[in-house]
Amino acid sequence: MARKDGSDRRPTISDLAREAGVSRSTASRVISGNGYVASSVKVRVRAAADRIGYVPDAVARSLRHRATRAVGVLISDLRNPFYADVAAAVEQRLRSRGYHMILANSDGMADEEEAAATLFEASRVAGVVLAPVSGLATRRLIDAGVAVVEVDRQLAPGECDAVLVENEAGAFAATSHLLELGHRRIGLLLGELGWMTATERLAGYRAALERFGLPFDESLVPRSSFSPAEAARVTGELLDKRPDVSAIFATSNVLAEGAIAEIQRRGRRIMTDLSLIAFDDVPWMRLMQPPISAVAQPTIGLGSVAAELLLDRLDGTAGAEPVVRRLETTLILRGSTAPAGR
Amino acid sequence: MARKDGSDRRPTISDLAREAGVSRSTASRVISGNGYVASSVKVRVRAAADRIGYVPDAVARSLRHRATRAVGVLISDLRNPFYADVAAAVEQRLRSRGYHMILANSDGMADEEEAAATLFEASRVAGVVLAPVSGLATRRLIDAGVAVVEVDRQLAPGECDAVLVENEAGAFAATSHLLELGHRRIGLLLGELGWMTATERLAGYRAALERFGLPFDESLVPRSSFSPAEAARVTGELLDKRPDVSAIFATSNVLAEGAIAEIQRRGRRIMTDLSLIAFDDVPWMRLMQPPISAVAQPTIGLGSVAAELLLDRLDGTAGAEPVVRRLETTLILRGSTAPAGR
DNA sequence: CTGTTAGCGCCTTCAT
DNA sequence: ATGAAGGCGCTAACAG
């Protein structure tokens, strides 16, 4: 006796038809709004639906239509504000167009990503938005005929739509800013080795150095991973090995967090002793003293555009060719970047 | 020609049966793992499945079983780290038990919440985890026979499981801490008026005052809403009207953010001029200088336990009575709370 | 151990 | 304008 009225099953369209004294087809036409129905009958059926609490079964509908209104969204880490923003934007856009979101976390692991792809395929989602880690999931989904949009990273170029960030330009701007302030030994904290974002941000960093006629020094670019703790450790190593660094460019909010923690732990002061700039602006950076300069990413845009591209493809509004959109960053100068000390 | 192999539709179990040279039932038995099948046949069917890329249709399965493996999760704001943590924990737990998550944002609006309830009901989700705003959604879902677990706030007491935070004890601890430091005029920033969390945290604040034999002063408790901007405005008003406040207790991470911004804007220094403590610890608070003292909420626990309770109920493991769990907070003392000035 | 049959709830021709 | 019938893909009796 799960339901309020004591019955243990939900009313179906047959119940509705019986209650309203019409055939199931007529009831269906009223509920779905397709086909001709006398308005008096419409009223009667709607009243009956309210009375018995009829809610059409989306599962049966999906089976019949061979299509769902669900979209799979796969990201690396919901607890990272970057992905949370993207996911929130996707959800909002989907919702406004009558779709909903199945959200899965890959934790940056390829096998979790594949498991999610299988889930999405099995669920017959209308499409998928994902921040890919391995490329296999995207390939699998595309092969299965699922519309896919890659976000933030592109691992299947030419095969599906993608929304990316102007990583190189953003990193170029940040690095140039430091160079213009007179910094010459700039530590680069690069997470996610092998990721497109890391590669492109590194390219931007190098391009800026080159522009200033400076050589690239590998010892200024330690390898790190995602966690703040790792970032802190690596920052410590950098500071030990290269005590001459006067500025650090942390290429993600997580790396910035770790770097700040380590800098503070050593009693060094940001801005005064060491300039710091982050790629990916998050709200707390504004609160630090000094506030942290950052390359703001268009997180909301990333999510909205991804959802748009997907929905356009589902509509058939999109052309045959995959579309790739690059969204611009914004350099936000705050107090953490200051002229290089004498 | 959506699919890789050129066909425009996914292989069904009939295709699989044909390919393997068995009946649909046998194919089904192999794929679902129910019933006896000769092992030689099993191998043959599995090989055929791989060959044609058969993935069972979860929609059809759900229709047949009259049950899905989807769980609806409804929160107020994915961009708020508190909810992001809860959602991430729910998702992880669900995933480990073969369920997945349909995530919807209510933005704290009752009508969006009801829309989500309708979506969940229509989707025939196995259950719902929600941080409710109006109580109507919970009631509607329960009436429809859906298993519900309320998280963070309880708006349908006695009707469904709930996982809550020891708000009163947490607020009591924070307030007592300030009182012990000698503060006597403690501003209380209370968001979400009418919300259970606000009420309980207020109760904890009052209980602590009472414990110290101090009267409750309404002018120390301005009304605010959720946004950091609102919180900043209200903090400003408080500081104007009551220049004698020596400490502020911000009862959410968002309120703390706004308060800090306003305090900084006025050039007042946290700890030295004004003590500050927050309810809901988030990573950046550790990074501030001085780092912010906070009442840490068990966000991950909230999500995990909610998922557990729900899954237990779906298993039939749970008893008839609704279970309510209260999770403890942790008082984390950092630099932002100091003895009251001279 | 395997095949036949029926039906989950819905929608959509087709016929009237 | 309405009803009857069939089938979306799957599985669970029920035979054999």
pLDDT digits (tens, 9 = 90+) for B282-338: 999 999 999 999 999 999 999 999 999 999 999 988 888 999 999 999 999 999 999
A-contacting residues in B 165-224 (Cβ below 8 Å): none
B56 CA, D8 C1': separation in Å?
A: 14
Structure tokens at A226: 């995602």
B65 CA, C5 C1': separation in Å?
A: 18
What number of C-beta contacts closer than 8 Å exist between A and B? 152
Q: How many CA atoms lie within 13 A of B50 on its CB side?
A: 5
Number of residues written out for chain B? 342
Angle at B286 between CA B282 and CA B292, to 5 degrees: 85
Q: Does A318 reach chain B within 8 Å, measured CB to CB? A: no
Estimate the share of chain A in helix, then strand, then coil, as percent rounded to the nearest 5.
45, 15, 40
Cβ <8 Å between B261 and A286: yes
- Asked if B302 and B86 touch (Cβ cutoff 8 Å), the reply is yes
Q: What is the mean pLDDT of residues B266-275?
A: 95
Chain C positions with an atom below 7 A of a protein C-beta are: 1-13
* pLDDT over 80 (residue B341): no
Question: Three-state SS for A80?
Answer: coil
The continuous run of DSSP H or E covering A30 comes out as helix A24-32
Q: What is the pLDDT of residue A147?
A: 97
Structure tokens at B160: 């469904």
| Average pLDDT value for chain A | 95
Residue B342's pLDDT band (cuts 50, 70, 90) = very low
Question: How many other C-beta atoms are found inside a 10 Å radius of the C-beta of residue B124?
Answer: 21
- Asked if A258 and A284 touch (Cβ cutoff 8 Å), the reply is no
* pLDDT over 60 (residue B103): yes
Please give the model's pTM, rounded to 2 decimal places: 0.96
Phi, psi of A173 (to 5 degrees): -65, -45
Cβ <8 Å between A143 and B4: yes
Q: What is the mean pLDDT of residues A307-312?
A: 97
Question: How many other C-beta atoms are found inside a 10 Å radius of the C-beta of residue A325?
Answer: 16
Q: What is the pLDDT of residue B187?
A: 97
Q: What is the pLDDT of residue A1?
A: 60
Q: Does A98 reach chain B within 8 Å, measured CB to CB? A: no
B68 CA, C5 C1': separation in Å?
A: 25
DSSP 8-state code for residue A285: G
Residue A35's pLDDT band (cuts 50, 70, 90) = confident
Residue B4's pLDDT band (cuts 50, 70, 90) = confident
* pLDDT over 60 (residue A48): yes
DSSP A213-243: T----GGG--B--SSHHHHHHHHHHHHHH-T
B25 CA, C5 C1': separation in Å?
A: 11
At a 7 A CB cut-off, the residues bordering strand C are: A 9-10, 12-14, 16, 24-25, 28-29, 31-32, 34-35, 56-57, 60-61, 63-65; B 22-26, 29, 35-38, 40-41, 60, 63-64, 66
* pLDDT over 60 (residue A342): no
**% of chain A with per-residue pLDDT over 70:** 99
B121-142: per-residue pLDDT in tens? 999 999 999 999 999 999 999 9
Cβ <8 Å between A4 and B144: yes
